[in-house]
Chains A and B, each alone.
Chain A
């Protein structure tokens, strides 16, 4: 099964850029890479998705190298409200069913 690996936690300060890297060595050819954000007492929320190179939206950027074995979520100029857990998600075509493999998440703490 594919497996994602992320740092357990990260600390940052307001106004800084934060980069969270996810490792997914066994990503399948057709898989997309998706990142979710989860605040306490809420369900995860979609942030960004990409297949290769770079994707940018109003919230974040996602960098994916050519081999696609990792991806980096970049949050520009974080604020206190960006304190949350960030999950990296890739699909895994295991046998006849496709399984969703969620990373354990990276707990980001943004300090004043």
Chain B
């Protein structure tokens, strides 16, 4: 299995631009997580999908952030408009969730820099 696939691996954009991050979970997994990691705040859960349905989006920082999971094999995290404080590494993880703390398999991350 190729594992969780994220694209792009690196993204540099200017403030105000729209940014779309993509994730392909491991086949057969029914849960998908989006995380943001910074030095100051550590690893933060942004949103959690189960069977393509958003279960908990309370970690999404504000309306500029949105996430979709149109099918079991694809998810996007969109930031519009982007701001410099959004600069971080964004991770996608997937798993077969019976309990929320069941094992998650992380992708390599997307390093976002907003100038």
**Count of chain B residues near A, Cβ 8 A:** 23
Q: Which of B13-21, B64-72, B75-83, B97-105 contacts A (4 or more CB under 8 A)?
A: B97-105
Which B8-62 residues sit within 8 Å CB-CB of chain A? 33, 42-45, 48, 55-56, 58
Report the interface size class on chain A. 20 to 34
How near does chain A come to B44, taking the closest CB pair, in angstroms?
8
Neighbouring B residues of A41 by C-beta, 8 Å: 108-109
Which residues of B are found within 8 Å of A30, using beta-carbon distances?
99
Q: Once the chains are docked, how many angstroms separate the CA of A49 from the CA of B99?
A: 12
Q: Are A42 and B109 in contact (CB under 8 A)?
A: yes
Q: Which chain A residues border B93 with CB–CB below 8 Å?
A: 43-44
Given A43-B93, A43-B107, A43-B108, A99 contacting B45 (CB threshold 8 A): yes
Other-chain residue from A43, A44, A91 in contact with B99 (beta carbon distance below 8 A) = A91
Partner of A89, one of B44, B56, B101, B108: B101
Closest to A43 in B: B106
Interface check A80, CB cutoff 8 A? no
Residues A9-55 near B (CB distance < 8 A): 30-34, 41-46, 49
Give residues in A with beta carbon < 8 Å to B: 30-34, 41-46, 49, 87, 89-91, 97-100, 102, 104-105
A-B contact pairs, 16 of them (CB 8 A): A31-B99, A41-B108, A43-B108, A43-B109, A44-B91, A44-B104, A44-B106, A45-B106, A46-B103, A49-B101, A90-B101, A91-B99, A99-B100, A102-B42, A102-B45, A105-B43
Interface residues of B (CB under 8 A from A): 4, 33, 42-45, 48, 55-56, 58, 91, 93, 99-109
